[in-house]
Amino acid sequence: DTEVTQTPKHLVMGMTNKKSLKCEQHMGHRAMYWYKQKAKKPPELMFVYSYEKLSINESVPSRFSPECPNSSLLNLHLHALQPEDSALYLCASSQDSQRHYGYTFGSGTRLTVV
Amino acid sequence: GESVGLHLPTLSVQEGDNSIINCAYSNSASDYFIWYKQESGKGPQFIIDIRSNMDKRQGQRVTVLLNKTVKHLSLQIAATQPGDSAVYFCAETQTDSWGKLQFGAGTQVVVTP
């Protein structure tokens, strides 16, 4: 299995909702990442997990809350989002955060906040 | 080139020709570089990578060239096909950066028949 799987593919949520994005990989990678991508722009890093521990938070607002339950799973919990948070949210994984081999992205969750 | 507003630099290529996509990177400490292809509605797809101790690496129909002196990276695609139409991003990182990828602005490749 050489894939990063993200669910759901599309999500529409209101500003008072709570939802979660899920990411799964079975490549034995020990680093997992969340990126945010706006239209016509490159992806921007949000969080890095290394060996299930949060290593980097790129000053992301607290309405985004990451969680890494085990080495294969990564979640992004969403609460009280704003319309400007609408974007493509990408999960990625790599061998580990020092050896970047196999840096693979999922297909993303297209999030719309209404 | 750099993107302005919502407009990505665009490379228009005739089917069967070779494509060259260029990227200037910013961090002289970067030691690992990746090219990604992103089709509409999909996540970035890994194409090829290169470490800073190399200046050229070849894959299937693709070649990446690295010039550390001028901090320049290029992706060459041989015999471009309609399926190569996509946005192409270069990305750089370094060993002690916790895996943070810094992406270039992207280039839209349009393959014409």
Note the pLDDT tens digit of each residue in B51-91: 999 999 999 999 999 999 999 999 999 999 999 999 999 99
| Torsional class of B98: left (φ above 0), alpha (ψ -120 to 50), beta (otherwise) | left
Cβ neighbours of B42 in A, within 8 Å: 107-108
pLDDT of residue B6: 54
Q: B3 or B12, which is more confident?
A: B12
Cβ neighbours of B96 in A, within 8 Å: 98
**Distance to chain B for A9, nearest Cα, Å:** 10
pLDDT over 60 (residue A46): yes
pLDDT of residue A66: 98
CA B77 to the chain's CA centroid: 10
Helix (H) or strand (E) holding A70: strand A64-70
Closest B-chain CA to A99: B95
pLDDT of residue B1: 34
Contact A90 B43 (CB under 8 A): yes
Answer whether B73's CB lies under 8 Å from B33's CB.
yes
Confidence of residue B5 (pLDDT cuts 50, 70, 90): very low
Running DSSP on this structure, what letter comes out for residue B8?
A: P
Contact B99 A90 (CB under 8 A): no
Cβ neighbours of A39 in B, within 8 Å: 6
Instruction: Tell me phi and psi for residue B82, to 5 degrees.
Output: -55, -35
Q: Which of A6, A39, A104 sits opposite B46 (nearest CB)?
A: A104
Confidence of residue B96 (pLDDT cuts 50, 70, 90): confident
- The stretch A92-100 carries a mean pLDDT of 83
pLDDT of residue A68: 97
Q: How many CB atoms lie within 10 A of CB B82?
A: 10
Which DSSP string do the residues of B11-75 spell out, in sequence order? EEEETTS-EEEEEE---TT--EEEEEEE-TTS--EEEEEEETT-SEEE-SSEEEEEETTTTEEEE
Instruction: Tell me phi and psi for residue B96, to 5 degrees.
Output: -100, 30
Distance CA B104, CA B27 (A): 12
Token representation of residue A112: 């719309």
Contact B43 A107 (CB under 8 A): yes
Token representation of residue A88: 């493509």
For all residues of chain A together, what is the average pLDDT?
94
CA angle A58, A63, A69 (to 5 degrees): 75
Cβ neighbours of A31 in B, within 8 Å: 98-99
Closest A-chain CA to B92: A100
pLDDT of residue B26: 86
Helix (H, G, I), strand (E, B) or coil at A85: helix
Note the pLDDT tens digit of each residue in A51-65: 999 999 999 999 999
**Distance to chain A for B28, nearest Cα, Å:** 18
Closest A-chain CA to B10: A40
Residue of A34, A105, A109, A110 best to disrupt the B interface, most CBs of B under 10 A: A105
| Torsional class of A47: left (φ above 0), alpha (ψ -120 to 50), beta (otherwise) | beta
pLDDT of residue B79: 97
Answer whether A7's CB lies under 8 Å from A22's CB.
yes
Note the pLDDT tens digit of each residue in A69-79: 999 999 999 99
Closest by CA position to B91, among listed B26, B11, B17, B6: B26
